[in-house]
Structure 1
Amino acid sequence: MKAYCFRVAAGRGTPIDLADALAAGPDMVWVHLPQIDDETKEWLRDRAQLDGYVVDALTATETRPRCEKIDQGAFLNLRGRSKEELDNSDLLASVRIWAQKGRVISVTRKPMIAVSTVKAEVAAGHVADPGDLITAFAAAITTDLDPDVADLGDQLDDCEEQLDASRVFELRRTVSKVRIAAIAYRRFLTPQRAALEKLAALPGDWLGDDDRLHIAAAADRAARMAEELESIRERSALMHETLSDLRAEQLDTRSLVISIAALVFLPLTFLTGLYGMNVANLPYAQEPWAFDAIAGACALIAAGVVIWFVRQHWFSK
């Protein structure tokens, strides 16, 4: 089974084998399982000897950010960006964390960008206890998501600056993508803030005061991003309505032009159709000047209709 294991001692994190990860000792051990399969479930249940409820939580298919205190430890589920392209309805991958004094086990189903950052923090000796490790996860996730959320706002700003009836379809596609991403991110960031706030308030000596402060700061950052995403969602909805109005106005203008053209040619069609009938005794049909007279009459009628439209201000409506 593929796994990343570190033992934190003397201010640094040292990679160890999975077989040595369960050995008792005063040092903190972090085990990260980057995939969920039968072997992973068996290891969590039989080797790590975790409670069945904890194993189910760590290996669940559908997850939302949450935090639960279980005996002397805590289960935490967080969401962050993945290295793989995910479905539009679920843009964030999950990391499931079981933490207790001296031991942290994390599980991911999809490769998460934040895991690499946390591994570097552990290897550099910046993590000393489970609280530090969870803080590193929360900080890495929010730091990675922050530029993405800011980019959504920048894309919406660009759409507002380029607002033009001739680019309605292009802008609507961009606005729709931004809105979908904002909704998908906010769906997880709001409960993630609540989960971090709950974790910061949990009793237990495995969380230090500095850890609680850092976790609370990560919760505040998640709250700020959730508020920004809500603003982006509302702006996207307003932008979509504006683009729909522009499109409707464009269609109205084109319909007006077609209506004017039809009204101009309506009397001309009647006149030419009348003299195009294959019947006898049409007035002046045999006169040599009849064609010129009908053509002149058509021109005068068309000019008269156009002048009437101009005086009625149809072209400015």
Structure 2
Amino acid sequence: MKQFAYVDDGATGRVVSPEEAAHANGAAKLVWIHLDQKDDATEAFLADKLKLNHIVVSALTALETRPRCEAMGEGALINLRGLSLQDEPEADELVSIRMWIGRGCIVSVARYTMRPLPTLCDAFKAGKVKDPGDFVAMLADLITADLDPDVAELGDQLDECELMLDASRTFRLRREIAGTRAKAIEYRRFVAPQRQALERLSALDCDWLEEDDRLHLGESADRFARMAEELESIRERAALMHEQITDLRAEVIDTRALLISIVALIFLPLTFLTGLLGMNVNGIPFAHEPWAFWGVVGVCVLMAVGIAAWFRYAHWLR
């Protein structure tokens, strides 16, 4: 779904070429032209066929965009973000659709196909989109309905990680939490300004936005506000869980280091004793007695038990 156009003459929308739609602009009840931002001819089409000013053309063909709404004469320049229809590695988590909307005319430009776009096309062909206000209100509603489950799933993933929080699973959990946090940060980067764009759009002074459209846009803005709050909560929870995992790992390391130190302390006097008695010099006490070896072993065992008992009494061992 790269480039297409619809013309509504009063009954239902019919598919035409972008050139035919540009020719019908002004005569038809409603025209929607969707262009591919990657196409080199898009910029010339916007300037020459649709006679849009250079500011609008630059905004519609810009490589980097963020959600926005700017009134321009009798129309408005609107950028929105939604989930991508295809997984493309070079695309952001949320892909953009740039629109110039005026009375009876909608021009949209996208680099990647947004997931709600086919549903919007079906609604247009079925005659459910009567004017630009219906179009933008329906698009905002579809984007929120599509994105809301993804945001809720991020929260569910963190809930599962919290239940599995254990020192033995820290490596896998750290990767999952880091991935969830990164996705939440990427979503929030566009969700927060999208709320502001929709609020600004709902308050826009234009005759192609009806009261019902403004109510739907306000509802979508409210849902985006809720999603932004949820994403901020996810980000903070993920940071807190990362700290907890770091504390768990530090506790495990401290416990193991303490155990190693205790073992070394137990064997330190034993090593000294065996080293002292193992010197190859005359005068070692009981060197020729048959019970001398087992006597030394017994002394070492008693020393080890005594040192271990003292560590236990001092609460070094638990």
Same fold (TM over 0.5): yes
Q: Alpha-carbon deviation of 1:35? A: 3.5
1:214 to 205, 213, 216: 216
Query: Does residue 67 of the first structure (1) align with residue 69 of the second (2)?
Result: yes
Which deviates further from its counterpart, 78-87 or 224-233? Answer: 78-87
> Normalising by the residue count of structure 2, what TM-score does the alignment of the two structures yield?
0.94
Which deviates further from its counterpart, 108-117 or 189-198? Answer: 108-117
2:97 matched to which residue of 1?
95
2:232 matched to which residue of 1?
230
Opposite residue 16 of structure 1, the aligned amino acid is: V
Secondary structure of 1:193's counterpart equals helix
The answer (yes or no) to whether the contact 1:121–1:136 under 8 Å persists in 2 is no
- Segments of 5+ residues of structure 1 without an aligned counterpart are none
The answer (yes or no) to whether the contact 2:8–2:28 under 8 Å persists in 1 is no
The answer (yes or no) to whether the contact 1:82–1:93 under 8 Å persists in 2 is yes
Secondary structure of 2:175's counterpart equals helix
Opposite residue 127 of structure 2, the aligned amino acid is: G
1:284 matched to which residue of 2?
286
Cα separation, 1, equivalents of 2:10 and 2:45: 28
Q: Alpha-carbon deviation of 1:11? A: 4.1
RMSD: 1.8
Q: Alpha-carbon deviation of 1:274? A: 2.2
The answer (yes or no) to whether the contact 1:88–1:184 under 8 Å persists in 2 is no
The answer (yes or no) to whether the contact 2:97–2:110 under 8 Å persists in 1 is yes
Q: Alpha-carbon deviation of 1:79? A: 0.8
Secondary structure of 2:109's counterpart equals strand
Q: Alpha-carbon deviation of 1:13? A: 1.8
Cα separation, 2, equivalents of 1:280 and 1:43: 106
Q: Alpha-carbon deviation of 1:313? A: 1.5
When residues 279 and 108 of structure 1 are mapped into structure 2, their CA distance, relative to the original with a 3 A threshold, is farther
The answer (yes or no) to whether the contact 2:37–2:61 under 8 Å persists in 1 is no
Aligned length: 316
Within 5 Å, which residues of 2 pair with 1:134-213? 134-213=136-215
The answer (yes or no) to whether the contact 1:190–1:226 under 8 Å persists in 2 is yes
1:84 matched to which residue of 2?
86
Superposed CA deviations along residues 116-151 of structure 1, whole A, max 9, x for unmatched, are: 221122122211111111112111111110000000
The answer (yes or no) to whether the contact 2:33–2:107 under 8 Å persists in 1 is yes
The answer (yes or no) to whether the contact 1:176–1:236 under 8 Å persists in 2 is yes
The answer (yes or no) to whether the contact 2:194–2:224 under 8 Å persists in 1 is yes
Superposed CA deviations along residues 80-135 of structure 1, whole A, max 9, x for unmatched, are: 11133356993111110110111101111122112122112212221111111111
Cα separation, 2, equivalents of 1:112 and 1:238: 33
1:12 matched to which residue of 2?
12
2:303 to 283, 301, 304: 301
Runs of 4+ residues deviating >4 angstroms: 86-89
Q: Alpha-carbon deviation of 1:78? A: 0.6
Superposed CA deviations along residues 260-298 of structure 1, whole A, max 9, x for unmatched, are: 111111111112222333444333334332221211111
Cα separation, 2, equivalents of 1:65 and 1:214: 18
When residues 45 and 211 of structure 1 are mapped into structure 2, their CA distance, relative to the original with a 3 A threshold, is same
Superposed CA deviations along residues 159-218 of structure 1, whole A, max 9, x for unmatched, are: 112222211111121111111111111111110000011111111111111111111111
Secondary structure of 2:52's counterpart equals coil
Which deviates further from its counterpart, 1-10 or 241-250? Answer: 1-10
Secondary structure of 2:308's counterpart equals helix
Secondary structure of 2:116's counterpart equals helix
When residues 296 and 229 of structure 1 are mapped into structure 2, their CA distance, relative to the original with a 3 A threshold, is same
- Segments of 5+ residues of structure 2 without an aligned counterpart are none
Cα separation, 2, equivalents of 1:9 and 1:273: 103
When residues 253 and 228 of structure 1 are mapped into structure 2, their CA distance, relative to the original with a 3 A threshold, is same
